[in-house]
């Protein structure tokens, strides 16, 4: 198990290195420069700022300086915030994004389980068709379409929710519902499939033959065994919310990490773009690394096959 874990850990660091390097060099291809603004800075001031942030050095030197700082845990200083630490800016905005994501996961899990269970127990009924339609709709409609629609109908037309900003908990409900849509859709589809498979197993038939009530069969045998595979998709699904947060926070003007990331792209604030990208990448890679380790613990065959690679 130790060898299997170490190999996965090395692979994770290689992936992070490739992502960091590719992102850094891709940003250098963007037109313009974050300090080229003749209306605000004189040529002398631009030269001073370029020297302060090592922008006057050749690209290989800039890359080496950035990577050496990254190894020390230094993500650099922001251009648009007057040299503030990128780490400080990320830590300031991260709690809002975590709150929205956690709330969306909880809502999506509850709604998805309900729809999946009802759909499986009422197979080929109107309830099954309705749940399937909602699941397909949730997966198919992207966040950048669903968010404005939710703002217009639930915010402006019906006046149920605030349509922007983050002034109270109530302001977070609509963005969390938008984020929870895809979570609920995936979990509902997965739960239905797993429950239908378990319902056809011999031990479920035996439990019914013993005289157990339908509720007891569902709770003791069907639901419990259907939830085991569900655990394996929760980590990747949670990581996938990161992409949704970027869009939803921007649409709803929520001061989270996603909104700051999008704004930094327009401002060409490379340190914040890099810091946020690295953070999101670490989250994605760590999620899949933990999933691989859990697979290795649960199924020894996977661990043996991984050691042979």
Contacting residues for 84 by C-beta, under 8 A, at least 6 apart: 77, 78
Q: From the CB of residue 214, how many other CB atoms can be counted at a distance below 10 Å?
A: 10
Of 18-27, 258-267, 289-298, minimum mean pLDDT range = 289-298
More confident residue, 23 or 268: 23
Both structure tokens of 169: 């908990």
CA distance 89 to 271: 11
Q: Taking residues 15-25, report their average pLDDT.
A: 93
Contacting residues for 160 by C-beta, under 8 A, at least 6 apart: 154
pLDDT of residue 138 exceeding 60: yes
Q: From the CB of residue 11, how many other CB atoms can be counted at a distance below 10 Å?
A: 15
Q: Which CATH architecture has domain 93-267?
A: Orthogonal Bundle (1.10)
Please state the separation of Cα 129 from the chain's center in Å. 29
Sign of CA dihedral 161, 173, 97, 145: negative
CA distance 88 to 90: 5
Q: DSSP strand E in the chain: where?
A: none
pLDDT tens digits along 63-75 = 999 999 999 988 9
Give a three-class secondary structure readout of 266-306. Answer: HHCCHHHHHHHHHHHHHHHHHHHHHHHHHHHHHCHHHHHHH
pLDDT tens digits along 100-134 = 988 999 999 999 989 988 888 888 888 888 888 88
More confident residue, 141 or 5: 141
pLDDT on residue 295 = 67
pLDDT on residue 306 = 52
Yes or no: say if 94 and 83 are a contact pair by the CB < 8 Å rule: no
pLDDT on residue 226 = 73
Q: Taking residues 238-259, report their average pLDDT.
A: 83
Q: Taking residues 20-38, report their average pLDDT.
A: 77
pLDDT of residue 308 exceeding 60: no
pLDDT of residue 304 exceeding 70: no
Q: What is the mean pLDDT of the chain?
A: 83
Please state the separation of Cα 112 from the chain's center in Å. 18
More confident residue, 287 or 38: 287
Yes or no: say if 192 and 122 are a contact pair by the CB < 8 Å rule: no
The model's pTM: 0.82
Among 28-37, 79-88, 168-177, 192-201, the range of highest mean pLDDT: 168-177
Query: What ranges do the domains of the chain cover?
Result: 93-267
pLDDT on residue 300 = 58
């Amino acid at each position: 198990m130790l060898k299997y874990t170490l190999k996965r850990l090395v692979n994770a660091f290689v992936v992070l290195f490739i992502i960091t390097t590719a992102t850094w060099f891709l940003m250098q291809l963007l037109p313009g420069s974050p300090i080229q603004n003749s209306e605000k800075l004189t040529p002398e001031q631009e030269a001073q700022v370029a020297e302060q942030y090592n922008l006057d050095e050749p690209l290989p030197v800039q890359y080496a300086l950035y990577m050496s700082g990254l190894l020390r845990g230094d993500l650099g200083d922001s251009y648009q915030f007057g040299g503030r630490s990128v780490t400080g800016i990320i830590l300031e905005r991260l709690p809002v994004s975590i709150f929205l994501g956690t709330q969306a996961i909880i809502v999506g899990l509850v709604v998805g389980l309900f729809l999946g269970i009802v759909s499986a127990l009422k197979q080929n009924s109107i309830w099954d068709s309705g749940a399937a339609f909602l699941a397909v709709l949730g997966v198919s409609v992207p966040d950048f379409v669903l968010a404005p629609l939710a703002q217009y109908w639930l915010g402006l037309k019906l006046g149920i929710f605030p349509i922007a900003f983050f002034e109270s908990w109530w302001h977070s409900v609509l963005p969390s519902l938008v984020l929870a849509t895809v979570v609920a859709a995936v979990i509902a589809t997965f739960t239905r499939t797993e429950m239908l498979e378990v319902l056809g197993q011999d031990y479920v038939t035996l439990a019914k033959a013993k005289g157990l009530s339908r509720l007891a069969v569902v709770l003791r045998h069907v639901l419990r065994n259907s939830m085991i595979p569900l655990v394996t998709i929760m980590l990747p699904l949670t990581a996938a919310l990161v992409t949704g947060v970027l869009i939803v926070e921007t649409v709803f003007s929520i001061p989270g990490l996603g909104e700051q990331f999008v704004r930094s792209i327009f401002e060409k604030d490379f340190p914040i773009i890099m810091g946020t990208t690295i953070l999101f990448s670490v989250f994605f890679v760590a999620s899949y690394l933990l999933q691989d380790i859990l697979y290795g613990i649960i199924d020894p065959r996977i661990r043996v096959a991984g050691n042979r690679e």
